[in-house]
Amino acid sequence: MTDRLPGFATLAIHAGAQPDPTTGARSTPIYQTTSFVFNDADHAASLFGLQAFGNIYTRIGNPTNAVLEERVAALEGGTAALAVASGHAAQMVTFQALLQPGDEFIAARQAYGGTINQFTHTFKSFGWNVVWADADDIASFERAVTPRTKAIFIESIANPGGSITDIEAVAAVARKAGVPLIVDNTLASPYLIRPIDHGADIVLHSATKFLGGHGTSIAGIIVDAGTFDWSRDNKYPILSEPRPEYHGIKLQETFGNFAFAIACRVIGLRDLGPALSPFNAFMILTGIETLPLRVQRHSDNAKAVAEFLSTHPAVAAVNYSGLSSSRYYNLARKYAPKGAGAVFTFSLKGGYDAGVNLVSNLKLFSHLANVGDTRSLVIHPASTTHSQLDDAAKTKAGAGPDIVRVSIGIEDKEDIIADLDQALRG
């Protein structure tokens, strides 16, 4: 062994895992069990009182899920992570730990359609008030800060527009406001962008997408950067005040730089209940082993497809941050030098009808509501993922009526391009 720190590809395969101590199994076993036997009554009491770490019940933790958590924390450069049932559950559990009814958070409106929906309607019903900002206008975040602001939320690469957010600039606003920066890193994956290196305090994933990578399993991850002081000003009582159900311990005081991950587990996951099935954790773990290979290939293919589309006579515009013509090109070179990801949008000269025709003529592409599958995927956001928004909000979110979104797969790029070419002729 050398003193070398393991590289990203090595961590993607090994972080968090070891041969099973009982059987020697090399792959992480699926611990498909709801509950775990205590050694004795004292052991049980100490687990329930958070005086010892260990397995109790799979709603709160499971050994297969724990390997996934440790692996993603390592890949993102965080102190700890929590796996939950979906990307949306990751957002719900995160905000539950931070907000009291009546509080506000600022979010970039360049966001996944489901996130806009969750924040606007369901979070509102909890008394958590979203204030929208424009990821292309850093001053809009500053203007949105009030004494009730408890967090700032952005996507590193925004879904569906594929735009790159200036994470360091937004992190500076968050630091000045004394609130954590939450970055949804779903579209980039830690292979392309590690938001913690640029000032993020919490990183979220829909592991459903590139981490799993094969379109088989829904999952979400919360990563704690360990960077935020939760006890300042008592703004985050769940983390700073005594917890009656845990003998009055204060989570920040007891767990230090992984207190946020603990709070999400022992309060949010325990009480809201969106536990990840160990089977799905296994599927995501297996996907992560090839993350660097897949995401590099996704990005290389996407760049080739974007270049093809940008010279095509039927195409009005291609919004891919990896093209030098993109307004995000410099941000892409800074934050995602290995590639700008697989997901981008383009618009057709024929407008809405041409978009609908294209989607129906494609053969290799699958028409569906997902990204980050090995397969090439296409969707018309205006009539699907973003259909609940009005036209102005659609356009602001990068999902206007003439826009088509693609998630470029890892097939042969010549086949992907040929399929688009025949469909555009169609």
Ligand X SMILES: *Cc1c(COP(=O)(O)O)cnc(C)c1O
Q: Write each residue from 122 to 161 as x if it is in contact with ligand X (CB under 6 A), else as -, in one continuous string.
A: ---------------------------------x---x--
268 touches ligand X by CB under 6 A:
no
> The tokens of 165 are what?
């957010």
Q: Which stretch binds ligand X (CB under 6 A): 108-116, 253-261, 345-353, 401-409?
A: 108-116
Query: Counting contacts by CB under 6 A, is residue 87 touching ligand X?
Result: yes
CA atoms within 13 A on the CB side of 400: 12
Per CB under 6 A, the list member of 79, 94, 115, 301 interacting with ligand X is 115
- Choose which of 71, 198, 209, 394 interacts with ligand X (CB under 6 A): 209
Nearer to ligand X, 75 or 423 (CB): 75
The CB-nearest residue to ligand X is: 87
Q: How far apart are CA 156 and CA 158, in angstroms?
A: 6
Q: How far apart are CA 376 and CA 408, in angstroms?
A: 5
Binding mask 337-376 for ligand X (x = CB under 6 A): ----------------------------------x-----
Q: How many CB atoms lie within 10 A of CB 371?
A: 26
H or E stretch at 391: helix 391-396
- Contacts to ligand X from residues 27-86, by CB under 6 A: 86
How many residues touch ligand X under the rule CB under 6 A: the total is: 17
**Cis status of the peptide bond prior to 160, with omega within 30 of 0:** yes
Nearest distance, CB of residue 311 and ligand X, angstroms: 29
- As measured in angstroms, the least distance from the Cβ of 372 to ligand X is 8
199 binds ligand X (CB under 6 A): no
Should residue 112 be labelled a site residue for ligand X when binding is judged by CB under 6 A?
yes
Cβ neighbours of residue 20 under 8 Å, at least 6 residues apart? 28, 29
The answer to whether residues 174 and 152 touch, using CB atoms and an 8 Å cutoff, is yes
In angstroms, give the least distance from the CB of 114 to ligand X. Answer: 5
Query: Which whole-number Å values give the CA distances from 88 to 74, 202, 270, 326, 368, in the listed order?
Result: 22, 15, 16, 30, 19
Q: Smallest gap, in angstroms, from Cβ of residue 186 to ligand X?
A: 4
- As measured in angstroms, the least distance from the Cβ of 209 to ligand X is 5
Burial (CB < 10 A; 0-12, 13-18, 19+), residue 360, is exposed
Identify which of residues 219 and 251 has a Cβ nearer to ligand X in the complex: 219
In whole angstroms, the minimum distance from the beta carbon of 8 to ligand X comes to: 21
Backbone conformation region of residue 351, classed left if phi is above 0, alpha if psi is from -120 to 50, else beta: left
Distance CA 186, CA 418 (A): 28
DSSP 307: H
Nearer to ligand X, 159 or 347 (CB): 159
Residues 278-337 that bind ligand X (CB under 6 A): none
Binding site for ligand X (CB under 6 A): 86-88, 112, 114-115, 155, 159, 184, 186-187, 206, 208-209, 218, 220, 371
